[in-house]
């Protein structure tokens, strides 16, 4: 069965209110699909999405950043949507994902960039801030804890381990993606809908997500991020983040305990938290203007 998509729901078509254009960029030996917007001479900002999103997860924040004069680049991260999908689980180790970030900075001929990451995008951002601090001018993590905090909390807090239980299911080979595809992606749709504020995601939003997920090999690649993390858990070479850091936290996150935000700031030489009420793990969708304002404030 073939599915026709209108321009409004095609994941590869920019919504009318989103400036910029889609293109492909070579970075770190891989090909990435990216959305570029803003003046070419503006300071570079990379927006990194999390699971199970793709570049579209940041669509509400692109215009506000462009209006401030930034050059905004929003990639589909490794394996997602239209970006290259290497076949081995080991290709999704955190070191490779972080090297993609510095590779993208190189691809735009910049020494540094501001990095903003949500969920897994934030995890990649933390690792990059710890291992390549000279490449980041600033870092904003959105509902994404410091890697040391993740490890310590998972080993000491049974409640957090329970919240993260879905990751254990993802370790099964082939089963999660087969079940998810057979159910027409109802599992990730239900996860996003039930863990967000009512009305956060529209039918058109989910049409876009389904179209990205059903691309050949995409969902397996997305799950390989979790599989690679479980098979090999490297400790960061440093523990304190020297890069100026802002945490944005939707306080009603069902997946991550709020305490992890405060513990993460304790690992920053220059870190601050902005808590956003009436928001969940999906705060950048629920409070898009507030999130954009905080990002612009941190980058100014």
- Strand, helix or coil at 138? strand
Scored b (16 or more CB within 10 A) or e, 268-291 reads: beebebbebeebbbbbbbbbeebb
Give 9's pLDDT tier (boundaries 50, 70, 90).
Answer: low
Q: Identify whether the C-beta of residue 250 lies closer than 8 Å to the C-beta of residue 282.
A: yes
Give 6's pLDDT tier (boundaries 50, 70, 90).
Answer: low
Closest CA relative to residue 117, chosen from 106, 133, 101: 101
Q: Identify whether the C-beta of residue 282 lies closer than 8 Å to the C-beta of residue 192.
A: yes
Q: Which residues are designated catalytic?
A: 119, 226, 281
Distance CA 98, CA 105 (A): 11
Asked if the model's pLDDT at residue 46 lies above 60, the reply is yes
Distance CA 22, CA 35 (A): 4
Asked if the model's pLDDT at residue 3 lies above 60, the reply is no
Task: State yes or no: cis peptide before 248, omega within 30 of 0.
Answer: no
Q: Identify whether the C-beta of residue 48 lies closer than 8 Å to the C-beta of residue 141.
A: no
- Strand, helix or coil at 279? coil
Q: In the prediction, which pLDDT does 165 show?
A: 87
Report the pLDDT averaged over residues 240-252.
99
Q: In the prediction, which pLDDT does 178 show?
A: 96
pTM above 0.85, yes or no: yes
Query: What domains are defined for the chain?
Result: 21-299 (3.40.50.1820)
Structure letter (DSSP) for residue 15? -
């Amino acid at each position: 069965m073939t599915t026709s998509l209108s321009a409004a729901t095609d994941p590869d078509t920019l919504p009318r209110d989103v400036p910029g254009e889609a293109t492909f960029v070579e970075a770190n030996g891989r090909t990435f699909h990216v959305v570029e917007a803003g003046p070419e001479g503006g300071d570079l900002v990379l927006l990194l999405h999390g699971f199970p999103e793709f570049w579209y997860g940041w669509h509400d924040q692109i215009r506000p950043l462009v209006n401030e004069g930034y050059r905004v680049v929003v990639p589909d991260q490794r394996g997602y949507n239209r970006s290259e999908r290497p076949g081995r689980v080991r290709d999704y180790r955190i070191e490779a994902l972080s090297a993609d970030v510095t590779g993208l900075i190189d691809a735009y001929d910049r020494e540094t960039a501001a990095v903003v990451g949500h969920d897994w995008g934030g995890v990649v951002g933390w690792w990059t801030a710890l291992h390549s601090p000279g490449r980041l001018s600033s870092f904003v993590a959105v509902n994404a804890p410091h890697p040391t905090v993740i490890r310590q909390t998972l080993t000491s807090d049974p409640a957090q381990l329970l919240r993260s239980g879905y990751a254990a299911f993802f370790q099964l080979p082939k089963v999660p993606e087969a079940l998810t595809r057979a159910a027409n992606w109802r599992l990730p749709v239900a996860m996003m809908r039930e863990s967000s504020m009512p009305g956060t995601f529209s039918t058109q939003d989910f049409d876009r997500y389904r179209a990205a997920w059903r691309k050949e090999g995409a969902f397996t690649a997305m799950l390989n991020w979790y599989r690679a993390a479980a098979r090999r858990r490297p400790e960061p070479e440093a523990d304190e983040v020297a890069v100026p850091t802002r945490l944005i936290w939707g306080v009603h996150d069902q997946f991550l305990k709020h305490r992890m935000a405060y513990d993460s700031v304790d690992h920053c030489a220059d870190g601050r938290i902005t808590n956003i009420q009436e928001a969940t793990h999906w705060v950048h969708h629920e409070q898009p203007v507030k999130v954009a304002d905080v990002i612009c404030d941190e980058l100014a």
